[in-house]
Amino acid sequence: MSQGGVSRGRPSLESVARSLRATARSARTIGVALLRSPRSLRRTAQSLERTGETVVTTVVSLRRRLDIRMLRWQARLDSRAGDRSIPWLTALVLALVLALLGLARSRDLGTGPDIGHYLQAAHLMDRGFEPVVSDLGHDLFADQAAWIFWPVAWALRVLPPAGTLIVLQAVVLALAVVPIWRIARGPANLRIGAASALMAAYALHPSVHDLNLAGFHPEALAIPALMAAYLMARSDRWWWVAALCAVVVASRADLGLAVAALGLVLVGEDRRTEGWSMATAGVAWFLVMAFVVQPLLGDGDYPHLAAFAAYGDGPVGILLGMVADPFGLLGDVLARDGFEKVLLLLAPVLFLPLVRPRYLLPILPLMVLYLVADVGDDGFGNPQQDVAALAFVFIAAAYALMRMGSEGVSRIHVDRRVLTVLVLTAVVFFVRDAASSPYEEPWDWGHRSPADVARVSASILVGDDARVLVSPEVYPLVADRHDAHVMRPGPAKLPGLDWAERIDAVVLDVESLGWTAPEARMFESRLINMDYRKRFELEGVRLWVRRPGA
């Protein structure tokens, strides 16, 4: 019994054997699975690798397609037809934009008073008088010897004066992109992308937009003329060079020094005879105009001597004062205002002209004179002083890109990243510093504020022959007369006792002049004592007129 019980309580040998065989089969199945798993992993890895290759291949092929398309477009544009049409189409678009901005700013009386000087001069010349601008106190041509204004004044006899001057200046500024393109594609031998980047940098340059909105300045003609003169000199077309240099010096007397600088550039390019001739002629023109012709038309002296009074008296004394104190002269050049002007000239083009300094050094003497001159700011930073430097900056920038690029099959190739940074830098400085910046909200220009409407109304009520004294905003509206004077912002000055003999109407614009209420009351009290009566008042703009028979 006991043996039978024991045998029933323990597992039999047969059951143990079956269990071992089952365990072996399980182990064999697990081993086969383990042996097969690396193969599966390899298959998975291969599948993923093929997927990655597909993605990379797709990206590469897409990039290749874009490159092929860009090369095709570049091949179409990189032709004689493209070289003829691209710069002129760009100039047309830029001229349209600048003209619309200038006209809009003129409509809301934001262009400044300088355009009024030319309007009054044109009015006087049309009636056979000498162009003695009453606000300047002397002949218009004594100021800058801008003889180019003579043919412009003839055109103003049949065209709207203010609008014509603004559109003419916009067109001239836009035309500069044509010689920029020609220089980039010609002597610099750049491809389409680099030439287009230079045109974009010019179209966005703050000095261009400031000059476009700062009234009218004949000096704007010098920008395209200087660049075109250099281009013609490279092709030995010297009659064209002479004509273009004549336009430059006729737009402003001291730009004879810019012609001299262009001659020195040509001397550095082994055109010594022609270059020295241009340099001599430019300096001679400046000296004759500044110390012979302009004094004869003015009060007997060079009209801008007062701007250099800190260095001495008279031309010789000023020159000796600059030479005797070079460190003081250098300190004035590197003052904050001068530093910012130089920065705004070079930074929008990525400081590229510094790569080819021999194209900038000849213009330095003229720039030094502008930087140390003590002249008032017209509200736009005197951009008319930048015209000569702009021409040399973009000539130097074209050759800088040529040096930075690499030789291609037929032209110089410049890295796209450099050109992209150049354009982005131009955009940044345009947004930051240009008078047409989006921060100035140019889309709202042309809409007159209530104060502008009041200024226009006051100007209409002034008689056509009345002798007037007005605020800077009103001056362009009433400049077409024999006597018109401008009241400059600042502390109020009481009218002189001789006003009754010189001034028939006064347009007070308290907001524009920055006067306090007591200053305005004191000024108007003097007008009342001098038999003036208030005829119009709206939005702080007041028109005072002398009583008939007073």
What is the residue-wise DSSP string for 349-371? Answer: GTTGGGGSGGGTGGGHHHHHHHH
The pLDDT assigned to 396 comes to 96
Please state the φ and ψ torsions of residue 174, each to the nearest 5 degrees: -70, -30
Summarised one tens digit per residue, pLDDT across range 270-304 is 999 999 999 999 999 999 999 999 999 888 888 88
Total count of residues recorded for the chain? 550
Tell me the whole-structure pTM to 2 decimals. Answer: 0.84
Which residue, 506, 498, 514, 491, is CA-closest to 544? 506
Q: How confident is the model at residue 34 (pLDDT cuts 50, 70, 90)?
A: very low
From CA 169, how far away is CA 392, in angstroms rounded? 20
Indicate the range of 210-219, 490-499, 511-520 predicted with least confidence. Answer: 490-499
Q: How far is CA 488 from the centre of its chain?
A: 26
- Across the range 92-120, mean pLDDT stands at 93
The pLDDT assigned to 79 comes to 67
Summarised one tens digit per residue, pLDDT across range 159-217 is 999 999 999 999 999 999 999 999 999 999 999 999 999 999 999 999 999 999 998 99
3-state secondary structure of 300: coil
Q: How confident is the model at residue 331 (pLDDT cuts 50, 70, 90)?
A: confident
The pLDDT assigned to 303 comes to 85
Q: How confident is the model at residue 221 (pLDDT cuts 50, 70, 90)?
A: very high
Which amino acid, residue 195? A
Q: Would you report the helix, strand and coil content of the chain in percent, each value rounded to 5?
A: 70, 5, 25
Residue 217 vs residues 113, 149, 195, 522: alpha-carbon distances, Å: 12, 10, 28, 37
User: 265: which 2 tokens?
Assistant: 């550039």
The pLDDT assigned to 2 comes to 41
Which amino acid, residue 108? D
Q: How confident is the model at residue 70 (pLDDT cuts 50, 70, 90)?
A: low
- Across the range 485-502, mean pLDDT stands at 76
The pLDDT assigned to 5 comes to 44
From CA 360, how far away is CA 224, in angstroms rounded? 17
Judged against a pLDDT cut of 80, whether residue 145 lies above it is answered with yes
The pLDDT assigned to 386 comes to 92
Q: How confident is the model at residue 7 (pLDDT cuts 50, 70, 90)?
A: very low
The pLDDT assigned to 45 comes to 54
The answer to whether the CB of 329 falls within 8 A of the CB of 372 is: yes
Q: How many CB atoms lie within 10 A of CB 549?
A: 5
Summarised one tens digit per residue, pLDDT across range 396-412 is 999 999 999 888 778 89
Q: How confident is the model at residue 109 (pLDDT cuts 50, 70, 90)?
A: confident
Q: What is the CA radius of gyration of the chain?
A: 37
Q: Is the dihedral of CA 132, 138, 140, 141 positive or negative?
A: positive
Indicate the burial class of 169 (C-beta count within 10 angstroms; 0-12, 13-18, 19 or more): buried
Q: How confident is the model at residue 59 (pLDDT cuts 50, 70, 90)?
A: low
The answer to whether the CB of 475 falls within 8 A of the CB of 112 is: no
Summarised one tens digit per residue, pLDDT across range 408-460 is 778 899 999 999 999 999 999 999 999 999 999 999 898 888 989 999 999 99
